[in-house]
Amino acid sequence: MRGSSVERSGAGRDLSGYVAVVTGGNGGIGLGLAHGLVAAGAGVAIWGRNEEKNAKALAELRASGGDAEAYVCDVEDQAAVNDTFAASFDRFGRVDAMFANAGINRLAPFVEMELEQFRAVLRNHLESTFLCFQVAARHFLERGEGGCLVGVSSIAASLGQARGAPYSAAKAGIESLVRSVAVELGPSGIRCNTIVPGFILTPIWGEEAEETHAELIEATSRRTPARRWGTPEDFGAVAAFLADPRLTFHTGDTIVVDGGFIIT
């Protein structure tokens, strides 16, 4: 279940001279986004909390010829977000796009869930997206040349997720946040869009996911028109598309990358 080389390469778009930040860019969908951006010629700053994963992802991006840097950052911490954005700007000399992708999931029965469990997931997804969007938007407004903001949601925002109420709520919140920011900042040339993944085979499912989740993968793949789960490589072309500064009329959108699952 591998994405095509065209998808991973950024589909031929030229982002030379532009710079993107990808939070949670050290693995999974975030690394797929980063690969698509560097393949299109963009400089990329990946932010993640795990230094070892950061180093591995950075080596992979540089081995592909990309101009990349990695930073340890807790996106729930406003000071850390602001400082890491400043460090990214100092390294590359500019920032043109912010992909707020970092996130966790904590499953628990709704009636047994503690309030802090609920808040922790919202903090990690929704509040961190707010913080990352805000620091980038302030920079874009100060520069006066527009910019690109991208949030990462999930089909769980629309379909719901048993034992995952805070995750679904947070993802729905991200979509609403994106629309509000798109309306408010559109007159300043700042575009804000959402990527909505479906079932994607990433490390969050475990190293042996194709064996341990075989029944789930088979059942959902049968329902999916593309007849497979997605992979991080499926997001490369999407990232390059959304970061393209020529797309000045594209904002407030949700781009669903789920192989057609949600329409069946």
Choice among 9, 128, 154, 168 that is catalytic:
154
Ramachandran angles phi, psi of 68, nearest 5°? -140, 160
Give the number of other Cβ atoms within 10 Å of residue 186's Cβ: 16
Q: How far apart are CA 153 and CA 255, in angstroms?
A: 10
* Angle of the 78-92 helix axis to the 128-143 helix axis, nearest 10: 40
Q: How far apart are CA 178 and CA 243, in angstroms?
A: 15
Q: How far apart are CA 161 and CA 19, in angstroms?
A: 35
Active site residue 56: no
Choice among 18, 53, 71, 171 that is catalytic:
171
Active site residue 167: yes
Active site residue 171: yes
* Angle of the 165-185 helix axis to the 128-143 helix axis, nearest 10: 10
Residue that is written with structure tokens 């969050």 in the block: 204
Choice among 4, 167, 176, 180 that is catalytic:
167
Nearest in space to 146 (alpha carbons), one of 194, 98, 179:
98
Ramachandran angles phi, psi of 19, nearest 5°? -130, 135
For residue 202, what are the contacts with CB-CB under 8 A and spacing of at least 6? 27, 28, 29, 231, 232
Return the sign of the alpha-carbon dihedral for residues 157, 29, 113, 174. Answer: negative
Nearest in space to 62 (alpha carbons), one of 102, 92, 27, 34:
34
Q: Which two tokens stand for residue 82?
A: 């602001």
The answer to whether residues 132 and 100 touch, using CB atoms and an 8 Å cutoff, is yes
Active site residues: 154, 167, 171
